[in-house]
Amino acid sequence: MIAWVSISVSSRNKQRAAAYDAALQELSNGNYTSAEQGFSALSGYRDAASLSVYCKYAGMYKDRIDYAGGQDELADITLQYDTSWQQDVDALETRVKGYKAEKDAAEEAERQRIAAENAAKREQSLKDQYSGKLPVDGMPVSCLKYTSIGSPTKTEKCQFYDSMDVHRRYKILHWYNSEGQTVAYCHSHQPKGEYTEVIYAFTYYETPIGRPNSASPWTPPSTSGGSNSGSVRDDYDNPEDLWEDNQDWYEDEDEAWDEWENG
């Protein structure tokens, strides 16, 4: 009985070896489909499983130069017995890896093209929305350039801006005309949940405020007798009256206060 079992095992091993050699011959002849089938039937025998994978992709890439999968599977192949085929496996893996790199690069280029195209469409939509109009609260700071007054002349950060939470800090935006007078101003911030900085508290002056750069130096108003007292304190009892009578000379009431307090 033992002898019969030994003969049976020996016969089976010979059959597997013969089938394996036949598959190797098919591989050598470039008959990848037939070789793959032969190796697949011998899974677990020598390098049959690995060579079956190689044959699959060798046949797939025989007549194509674009990526169709398999780079990782080929990279995992390390032959243990028929190592003479390892260089062929590695060569195919290198070629397939190149195809994959080309495919990835093409896909990335296409993603970037689509992203740029979509960004251009969004920008054009915003331009159409705000072009030629005065700024409005809630609009993106990046779109101010499209408005009728253009980008702000000056931008100031609030105190401790750089150390504050991104959603709590703010900026003050100023627009001046060629004479240095204030045309408009507003604040800007980045609301919670948003990634875009927007404006709020926008104020526009139909008549620009502040003293024009070309104006002559300020001189105190003359007294009722026609002589100049030389001091705003002599001419006005309080800064409110100074501001009320001379708003064209000051950018805001605070400036009038400073003038009055400095005498």
Q: Does residue 119 form part of some domain?
A: no
Are residues 18 and 101 located together in one domain of the fold?
Answer: yes
Q: Among residues 215, 236, 252, which one ends one of the domains? A: 215
Q: Does residue 209 form part of some domain?
A: yes
Asked if 239 contacts 256 with a C-beta cutoff of 8 angstroms, the reply is yes
What pLDDT score does 7 carry? 57
Are residues 77 and 91 located together in one domain of the fold?
Answer: yes
Q: Vertex 112, ends 110 and 116: CA angle to 5°?
A: 120
Q: Does residue 114 form part of some domain?
A: no
Would you give the DSSP letter of residue 50? H
Half-sphere exposure of 222 (CA within 13 A, CB side): 4
What pLDDT score does 238 carry? 76
Are residues 68 and 56 located together in one domain of the fold?
Answer: yes
Are residues 210 and 244 located together in one domain of the fold?
Answer: no
Are residues 34 and 102 located together in one domain of the fold?
Answer: yes
* Neighbour-count burial of 58, counting CB atoms closer than 10 A to its CB (0-12 exposed, 13-18 middle, 19+ buried): buried
Q: Can you tell me the distance from the alpha carbon of 22 to that of 42, in angstroms, rounded to the nearest whole number?
A: 11
Q: Can you tell me the distance from the alpha carbon of 148 to that of 61, in angstroms, rounded to the nearest whole number?
A: 61
Q: Does residue 254 form part of some domain?
A: yes
Range of the domain at 82: 13-106
Are residues 211 and 221 located together in one domain of the fold?
Answer: no
| Residue that is written with structure tokens 């009055």 in the block | 260
Are residues 178 and 263 located together in one domain of the fold?
Answer: no
Q: Does residue 112 form part of some domain?
A: no
Q: Does residue 195 form part of some domain?
A: yes
Backbone phi and psi for residue 4, each to the nearest 5 degrees, phi listed first:
-65, -40
Q: Does residue 182 form part of some domain?
A: yes
Describe the strand order of the beta sheet including 154-157 as a list of residue ranges: 154-157, 171-176, 182-189, 198-209
What pLDDT score does 175 carry? 98
Work out whether strand 198-209 and strand 171-176 pair parallel, antiparallel, or are unpaired. Answer: unpaired
Are residues 203 and 229 located together in one domain of the fold?
Answer: no
What pLDDT score does 4 carry? 45
Are residues 155 and 229 located together in one domain of the fold?
Answer: no
Would you give the DSSP letter of residue 149? T
Are residues 192 and 236 located together in one domain of the fold?
Answer: no
Each residue's pLDDT, cut to its tens digit, for the chain (263 residues) gives: 554 445 566 778 899 999 999 999 999 999 999 999 999 999 889 999 999 999 999 999 999 999 999 999 999 999 999 999 999 999 999 999 999 999 999 999 999 999 999 999 999 999 999 999 999 999 999 999 999 999 999 999 999 999 999 999 999 999 999 999 999 999 999 999 888 999 999 999 999 998 888 877 666 555 444 444 557 676 777 777 787 777 767 777 778 777 777 76
Are residues 137 and 164 located together in one domain of the fold?
Answer: yes
What pLDDT score does 5 carry? 46
Compute the mean pLDDT over every residue in the chain, rounded to the nearest whole number.
Answer: 89
What pLDDT score does 173 carry? 97
Are residues 194 and 225 located together in one domain of the fold?
Answer: no
What pLDDT score does 218 carry? 61
What pLDDT score does 118 carry? 98
Q: What is the pLDDT of residues 128-173, one digit of tens each?
A: 999 999 999 999 999 999 999 999 999 999 999 999 999 999 999 9
User: Structurally, how many domains does the chain consist of?
Assistant: 3
Q: Does residue 200 form part of some domain?
A: yes
The full DSSP string for 183-196 is: EEEEEEE--TT-SS
Beta bridge partners of 203: 185
Contacts of 20 (CB under 8 A, 6+ apart): 38, 39, 42, 45, 46, 48
